[in-house]
A = this chain, B = another copy of it.
Amino acid sequence: MNTANYDRGAASDTFQVIRRFPGKPYRLGRLSTAHGDILTPAFMPVGTRATVKSLTPEELKACGAQIILGNTYHLYLRPGHELIREMGGLHDFMGWNGPILTDSGGFQVYSLAPLRKIDEEGVTFRSHIDGSLQRLTPEFTVEIQEALGSDIMMCLDACIPYDAEEKQVIWATDLTTRWARRCAGARRRRDLKLFAIIQGGMNRDFRAKSASELVALDLDGYAIGGLSVGEPRELMLEMIEATRPLIPERYPAYLMGVGTPEDLVEAVDRGIDMFDCVLPTRNARNGMLFTSFGRVVIKNARFARDKRPIDPECTCYTCRNFSRAYLRHLFVTRELLAYRLNTIHNVHYFLELFRQIREALGQNRFHAFKKEFFSKRETKK
């Protein structure tokens, strides 16, 4: 492993703003990790179980991936972090030599595991795979992520329902802060970055308290969690607008689990640097493809004899080689190649969108880009 950054974990070494825009929250940046730099704004394809579903590392690179995300919860349960450590870490295990960010498992416990119970010490739950009783603490999630060798680790956060009572929101938000302090204290590897997750529900005051207490820890970056959990889109954007300015400029700002291409462009406009979402990969497997002119449902009968690629403007492997007719046939017959070709296209779409965003920022024409992005989607091809 590259340990050049060992013991140089200060935020200023981690993240550099390459270009600012007066009066605007958005920026071009560079995030340094033990497995290389990434340019921001950046989108991270999700590789839940040590694989971005159906793709090889080479295909991810060809799609433009700079960094991918792994899920601590899933990898802890199967195949286990000790096994992955023995295999040389997550990078070697899955053959991906670029940066990896791992979440802390908090959200997966919340969304997947039955019988979860949060207390001061940590979270207890039953595995969704075999029902076994499991326990994650802040210290243990850091231990797991260090065993995986994640370039960017996330602090364990206390996730609660969108419609939780105010008292519960306050408790979970404060607990997330105490857990972040414990995560920071549990770190042994300074070559791996550690981000904290700002919570606070849909309340600006709680968000502000969460942000200020977490920023006081001077970690390597800050994420906005607890959004895209069922709230109206306007409320989500409002919470981003309320929370983003609370993260000082020297830290990368990461919006977790968001979202549609439209949401991503809006969030970049509000100053977010990093994103992850299962939308490109999950929708690919459901036959929903993203294009420059909107969504395509590939099983639609009107594509049965359509010789055109999914998106005539797209340069991905799938669009360069296969027709809508063939992709529809593969999807209708549930052929394995369908999921893969669709995934290549969607992942390429999201990553190409971010390449274009960075290009537009570099040319100081982000708002022109944004205007064109939305106008194209109004006239479907």
Contact = CB atoms under 8 A, between A and B. Distances in A.
A86 interface: yes
A339 B336 contact: yes
Nearest to A332: B78
A315 interface: no
Contact of A340 (B79, B307, B323, B340): B340
A87 B50 contact: no
Given A79-B325, A95-B322, A51 B87 contact: no
A296 interface: no
A50 B329 contact: yes
A321 interface: yes
A381 B100 CA distance: 35
A304 B83 contact: yes
Nearest to A339: B336
A337 B304 contact: no
A94 interface: yes
Contact of A337 (B56, B307, B325, B333): B56
Interface in A338-364: 339-340
A332 B80 CA distance: 13
Contacts of A374: none
A343 to B, nearest CB: 8
A288 B13 CA distance: 48
A87 B325 CA distance: 8
Contacts of A88: 307
Contacts of A79: 304, 325, 328-329, 332
Nearest to A57: B321
B93 A321 contact: no
A57 B341 CA distance: 12
A203 to B, nearest CB: 38
A55 interface: yes
Interface in A16-73: 49-51, 53-57
A329 B90 CA distance: 12
Given A325-B79, A325-B87, A336 B336 contact: yes
A333 B49 contact: yes
B337 A53 contact: yes
B305 A53 contact: no
Nearest to A86: B305
A120 interface: no
Interface string A301-344: 00011010000000001000111011011101101110110000
Given A322-B95, A325-B79, A325-B93, A336 B54 contact: yes
13 contacts: A49-B330, A51-B335, A53-B335, A54-B336, A54-B340, A78-B329, A79-B325, A79-B329, A79-B332, A86-B305, A88-B307, A336-B336, A336-B340
The 6 closest A-B pairs by CB, nearest first: A54-B336, A79-B329, A51-B337, A95-B321, A51-B335, A49-B333
Given A51-B335, A53-B335, A57-B321, 20 more contacts: A49-B329, A49-B333, A50-B329, A51-B330, A51-B337, A53-B337, A54-B337, A55-B337, A78-B329, A78-B332, A79-B304, A79-B328, A79-B329, A87-B307, A87-B325, A93-B329, A94-B326, A95-B321, A95-B322, A336-B336
